[in-house]
Amino acid sequence: MREITYLKAINEAVDEEMARDPAVIVMGQDVRKWGAPLGEFKGLFEKYGDRVLDTGISETAMVGAAAGSAATGMRPIVHIMFGEFLGVCMSDIRCALTKTRYMTGGKTKFPATIMTYTGGGRSAAGEHSACPYGVMMATPGLKIVAPATPYDAKGLIKSAIREDNPVQVFYHVGLILSKVISKIPEEEYTVPIGEADIKRKGNDVTVVAIGLMVHRALAAADRLQEKGISIEVVDPRTLAPLDKQTIISSVKKTGKLVIMDEEPKTESASSEIAAIVAEEAFDLLKAPVKRVCAPDTPIPFSPALEKAWMPDEENLIEAVTELMG
């Protein structure tokens, strides 16, 4: 085993897949000289040359070119830098990239990976902080992963690149900047798309948390344990297709569910998870589902305001305590 940061995990995943398959290419703004703004593709241009393509600021052409090259034999990775930038090329993703396979009657496949920074906590204000999970989940044909640890990031990104369908990878800037570390095996591994992971076992309340929120839930778990409350932290890892079974099995054990999601509550990933549990496992619930989300507002700039906006340990502890009431 060896230790690895989140940034290194992304870099290794892409590097290994580019070495393994000459069809894998990287496209985006700033991917050559910077290796993307946070450096996750550093060294790849030097190693793979023309397979790393600077696109300029051109999101619609990036996604179109990714779709066109994917259909004709490449495995493009396209870096759409920040969550809100997906809006610039939304119909390119929701139509050209993800609907076309259906409209070909299954004749054509689109093995493309979109990689996007998410998350608040850096005073990046309203346009560079979003976690647009919910809106992307409403995209048939798209798979979505949001790894919370370096281990999951490496394994899921490798799976995404090998996947024959378009995959959206969301990675939280906070996880890169916080230098969170995982132990990973020396040998190659992948993490399958569509499998949740129980990050901490517990008996009293199921907490489903996504991305950075997994770490806040784990921190809250320690403090709740001191109060004698045992929470089970379920990390879906993949948002589409959701591993409903793991979530429902946990709810079967605890009878109580809190969903912690760094998104405005309306039409978020938490909405979908709550709806699924209400629809498919209502009888297992001993209390109403609770959601710890951001308010339905843009993300504010000032550190004081942003801190109040982002769901944190205190919000989760309060929700869990209320449920245990």
Partner 1 sequence: MDIEKEKLLGMYRMMVRIRTFEEQLAKDFADGKIPGFLHLSVGQEANPAGMCANLRADDIITTNHRGHGHVIAKGGNQYSLAPLIAEIYGKKTGLNKGKAGSQHLSDLDIGVLVAEGIQGTTLTLAVGAALTAKLKGTGQVAVAFIGDGTLNTGRFHEGMNMASAWKLPLICYVENNLYAESTSIYDSTNLTDLIDRATAFNVSGVSIDGNDVIAVYEAAAEAVARARKGEGVTFIEAKTCRQRGHFEGDPQAYRTREQRDECLKMDPIPRFRTKLIEIGAFTEQEIDIIHQEALTEVAEAVKFALESPDPSPEEVLTDVYA
Which of the residues are catalytic? 128
For residue 318, the Cα-to-chain-centroid distance in whole angstroms is: 25
Judged by CB under 8 A, the chain residues 247 through 266 that form the site for partner 1 are none
55 is a site residue for partner 1 (CB under 8 A):
yes
51 is a site residue for partner 1 (CB under 8 A):
yes
**Alpha-helical runs (H) found in the chain:** 6-20, 44-48, 59-71, 90-91, 100-103, 133-137, 150-162, 173-177, 212-226, 244-254, 269-280, 303-309, 313-324
Specify the stretch interacting with partner 1 by CB under 8 A; choose among 10-18, 63-71, 149-157, 306-314: 63-71
* Cα 163 from Cα 167, distance rounded (Å): 8
Specify the stretch interacting with partner 1 by CB under 8 A; choose among 2-10, 87-95, 147-155, 228-236: 87-95
Task: Determine phi and psi for 113, rounding to 5 degrees.
Answer: -120, 125
The 3-state DSSP composition of the chain as helix, strand, coil percent (nearest 5) reads: 45, 20, 35
87 is a site residue for partner 1 (CB under 8 A):
no
For residue 148, the Cα-to-chain-centroid distance in whole angstroms is: 7
Task: Name which of 5 and 58 has its Cβ closer to partner 1.
Answer: 58
Size of the site for partner 1 (CB under 8 A): 44
Least distance CB 26 / partner 1 (angstroms): 12
109 is a site residue for partner 1 (CB under 8 A):
yes
HSE value, Cβ hemisphere, 13 Å, CA-based, for 71: 16
Task: Name which of 59 and 261 has its Cβ closer to partner 1.
Answer: 59
Among 21, 43, 46, 91, indicate the residue that binds partner 1 (CB under 8 A).
91
Task: Name which of 6 and 85 has its Cβ closer to partner 1.
Answer: 85
317 is a site residue for partner 1 (CB under 8 A):
no
Among 68, 87, 255, 298, indicate the residue that binds partner 1 (CB under 8 A).
68
* Residue 252 CB contacts under 8 Å (≥ 6 apart), including other chains: 281, 284
Task: Name which of 110 and 151 has its Cβ closer to partner 1.
Answer: 110
The residue behind tokens 């798309």 is: 193
Please work out, in degrees rounded to the nearest 5, the angle formed at the alpha carbon of residue 18 by the alpha carbons of 15 and 22.
165
Judged by CB under 8 A, the chain residues 132 through 151 that form the site for partner 1 are 140-141, 143
107 is a site residue for partner 1 (CB under 8 A):
yes
Least distance CB 149 / partner 1 (angstroms): 26
Least distance CB 61 / partner 1 (angstroms): 4
6-38 b/e with 16+ CB inside 10 Å = b? bbbbbbbbbbbbbeeeebbbbbbbbbbebbbeb
In the complex, which residues of this chain contact partner 1 (CB under 8 A)?
25, 50-51, 53, 55-56, 58-61, 63-74, 76, 91-92, 95-96, 100-111, 140-141, 143, 164-165
